[in-house]
Amino acid sequence: LRLEVDLHHAIERRELELFFQPQFDGRTLQVVGAEALLRWRHPQLGMVPPDRFIPLAEESGLIVPIGRWVIDEACRQAAEWSALACRPIGVAVNVSVRQMLGDDIASVVAQALRRHALPAQRLELEITESLAVGDVAQARLLLARLADLGVGVAIDDFGVGYSSLAYLRDLPVQRVKIDRSFLRQVPQDAGSSRLVGAMVSMARALEIGLVAEGVETVEQLDFLCEQGCDAIQGYLLGRPIAGDDFLHRLMADD
């Protein structure tokens, strides 16, 4: 209960912070963007990981103001990086189902883009397959409004849900993020490797983007590059870091 009470004040007390995990172009291995990952610096408990407070935020409805703050802050950062690095840097934000359905997400996004003068194509929303479990028509409408704005939508944890392919058929999405569980035994296990290779081919055939997440070894990276994977994210190339550290990394990467 205490954590939930404290969470009410986390935004105004400026205890929330975004970390950023770099995303790399699969061909050049240049940093092209980052995934924003929320952190809570609790004054007594220290860093509280998102797994511990996002569920609380969802139950209490606090996910709406928190999610708005995340979108705004991510847009602010992406605009700043792009200006300072003199090249376009994108940012991906996790949006939970509760936030997608409980807020006017398209207006929130439009306002944040405007406030920070960030071109819409630099922002991507990561949603999970569970969005369409309830009302597919409503999900489609929501995503269509986001597509109209020009922001990208990616399916997170792609492949682990039982309706992944129906999702691709029914909803306008621009990217999939292959769940990191698929990569664990790549390339040593032939079955896993063929499956990941097939996902890369499928994304190409459907003309949607693909991010491999959870890339931890050089062997996995080599395999993905050989397959022609678009984008790479994982501890091998970069862990989640604070915004300033990400900027330094960008400048060093040029």
Pick the piece of the chain touching ligand G (CB under 6 A) from 45-53, 115-123, 193-201, 219-227. 45-53
Size of the site for ligand G (CB under 6 A): 20
Residue 217 is classified by DSSP as S
- Which residue(s) pair with 124 in the sheet? 92, 152
The residue among 72 and 126 lying less far from Na ion, judged by its C-beta, is: 126
Q: Measured from the CB atom, is 83 or 189 closer to ligand G?
A: 189
Site string for ligand G, 91-120 (x = CB under 6 A): ---x-x------------------------
Name the token pair of 102: 């409980």
Q: Which residues contact 29 (CB under 8 A, 6 or more apart)?
A: 232, 237
Three-point CA angle 103, 104, 108, nearest 5°? 105
Indicate if the alpha-carbon torsion angle 53, 107, 211, 181 is positive or negative: positive
Question: Which one of Na ion, ligand G, none is in contact with 50 (Cβ closer than 5 to 8 A by kind)?
Answer: ligand G
Helix axes 218-227, 190-206, angle to 10 degrees: 40
Widest pairwise Cα distance in the chain: 51
Residue 70 binding target from Na ion, ligand G, none, CB below 5 to 8 Å by type: ligand G
Contact 228, 201 (CB under 8 A): no
Of 73 and 156, nearer to Na ion (C-beta) is 156
What track of x and - describes contact with ligand G for positions 169 through 208 (by CB under 6 A)? -----------x----------------------------
Q: Which residues contact Na ion by CB under 5 A?
A: 94, 126, 156
Establish if 156 lies at the interface with ligand G (CB under 6 A). yes
Site for ligand G contains 235 (CB under 6 A): yes
Q: Which of 204, 240, 241, 249 binds ligand G (CB under 6 A)?
A: 240
Name the residue nearer to ligand G (CB basis): 119 or 214: 214
Q: Which position has the token pair 């035994």?
A: 185
Q: DSSP letter string over 60-77? A: HTTHHHHHHHHHHHHHHH
- 82 or 94: whose CB is closer to ligand G? 94
